[in-house]
Amino acid sequence: MKKELPRKQFIKMAALGSVGLYLSSCHSSTPAKTTQKVNPAKDTIPKPTAIVKSTTSDVILYKKGDALYDQLRNGFNKRINKFPAVIALCKTTEGVVTALDHARKNGLPVAIKSGGHCMEGFSVNDGGMAINLSEINGVEKVNDNLFKVGPGTVLMQLYNAVLPQQRIVPAGACGMVGIGGLALGGGYGFFSRHYGLACDQLMELTMADAKGNIHTAKDNDELLWACRGGGNGNFGVITSMTFRSHPLPPQFQSHRFRAFNVDTTKTLKIMEKWFELGADLPVSCFSAFVLNHTTAYVLLTNYGEHTPQVQNFIDAITALTDKASNGQPIETAKAVKTFYGSLVPVTFRNSCAGLYNSFAELSGFISSVIEKVSSTPGMIYQVNTLGGNIANKDFEAASAYPHRSKKFVSELQTYWEQPGQAEKLTQAFADVQNVFASNGIIAQYCNYPYLGFTNWQQAYYGDNYARLQAVKNMYDPDNLIRHEQSVRNKI
């Protein structure tokens, strides 16, 4: 059994750029027959104590007290502690249909779990049914360009399958995040500014709707539009996803910069310069600005040409920080794995803290955020670059993801080990979020949810929300599949 990372080690890793990409647990088995499969997890499923009409090769129902109940209900965030009446461990699409039938007949609201990384625990519920898709995992090579992926596949499994073939599916960095949740909400990472979001690579899917009907969506189907950035746990249960892949860049380079014991003035200077330079980086680059207590970090990655723009970024940030570490180019397949992050659950409250276009949107109030973060050990404020081909107009027309024009996405993070730390950090988190909200920061990334967002419908989905409601009415008219911030039916 692997031990949990100590908080200091985890925070250090987080501040080096892994967390803002990777937060969003894993249990796996053999998917439907494929030409190429990821190795299953070593955990074995005991004989069930409760079985629905299908055979155990399709679905097993678990109730409190049954073997694996606690393992299946828990996710990556140890702060989340919910108890479904039933957990349906589904192994096939047919098993999902049977589970949905059981939920309908018993009046159980349904939550859907692929990897269990949701920051607010939307993939599990209290007193309802949690459909666990960890057994529907695996990667099938359809052709040189396309890969069919089970929603319970975690990112490191996907990369283990596609990287040796010199292909990449643009996604995140966290090795243990489930593909289902990541891609349905958007999904960004090192390769997104070049190739687009993970949802932009989604070419086809299979979904069981709330009535148990099975749908296949591809081309410009309205359901596919909704599932490209419209969030998860809304319309039905996705049981397969086919993604477009791209050539794997041969080399990948990382540069890290640190400024120690920074005060507000110093942090503002680094931050403003970072925003200025980060907006114009080549599409092969990704960058993150991270304030972790009193240390400011900057990460820059590049798998393309070392242009004058890149060198200018390095020179300018080096001049403002205390330590610069310029990495050598290494094989991209090896480099990606260094950002997998924690493979074990941790305790945290994290969420988006806005999407922005420039430092000017923050300049009038960000000093109060910096002061709060600097005085609160365990709190991190991180901003990552977007832009590039994420703003592609064709992608925008074909997807529900609404924030194409935004050049930066942020994440507010808090971590703790002892229960006694929770109240202080949770209050500090709310205080900072209130600063952003009171200063007109509205747009938010739905994969980084927060129950405190008062107008989350528009924050997550913008002008696309009404259209998403129409899709909800079509596939789940009785709102069987739902969570605290799922798309509501249109009346």
Q: Is residue 44 part of a domain?
A: no
Same domain, 424 and 306: yes
Q: Is residue 16 part of a domain?
A: no
Q: Is residue 375 part of a domain?
A: yes
Same domain, 195 and 327: no
**CATH code, domain carrying 415:** 3.40.462.20
pLDDT of residue 425: 97
Residue 39 has pLDDT above 80, yes or no: no
Residue 108: in which H helix or E strand, if any?
none
- Residue 454's Cβ-side half-sphere holds a number of Cα atoms within 13 Å equal to 8
Q: How confident is the model at residue 26 (pLDDT cuts 50, 70, 90)?
A: very low
> Quick one: DSSP state of residue 481?
B
Its domain, for residue 59, covers 23-39+50-132
Cβ pair 93, 206 in contact under 8 A: yes
> Model confidence over 435-452: pLDDT tens digits?
999 999 999 999 999 999
> Model confidence over 124-139: pLDDT tens digits?
999 999 999 999 999 9
pTM, whole model, 2 decimals?
Answer: 0.90
Q: Is residue 483 part of a domain?
A: no
Q: Domain boundary at 111, 132, 153, which?
A: 132
Same domain, 320 and 426: yes
What percent of the chain lies above the pLDDT cut of 70?
Answer: 89
Same domain, 339 and 221: no
Distance in angstroms between the alpha carbons of the first and the last residue of the chain: 50
**CATH code, domain carrying 219:** 3.30.465.10
| DSSP assignment string, 151-199 | TT-BHHHHHHHHGGGTEE----S-TT-BHHHHHHH----TTHHHH--GG
Same domain, 277 and 215: no
> Model confidence over 268-281: pLDDT tens digits?
999 999 999 999 99
Same domain, 296 and 400: yes
CA 93 to each of CA 109, 214, 240, 338, 412: distance values in angstroms, whole numbers, following the listed order: 19, 8, 9, 34, 36
> Model confidence over 334-379: pLDDT tens digits?
999 999 988 899 999 999 999 999 999 999 999 999 999 999 999 9
Same domain, 208 and 285: no
> Quick one: DSSP state of residue 48?
P
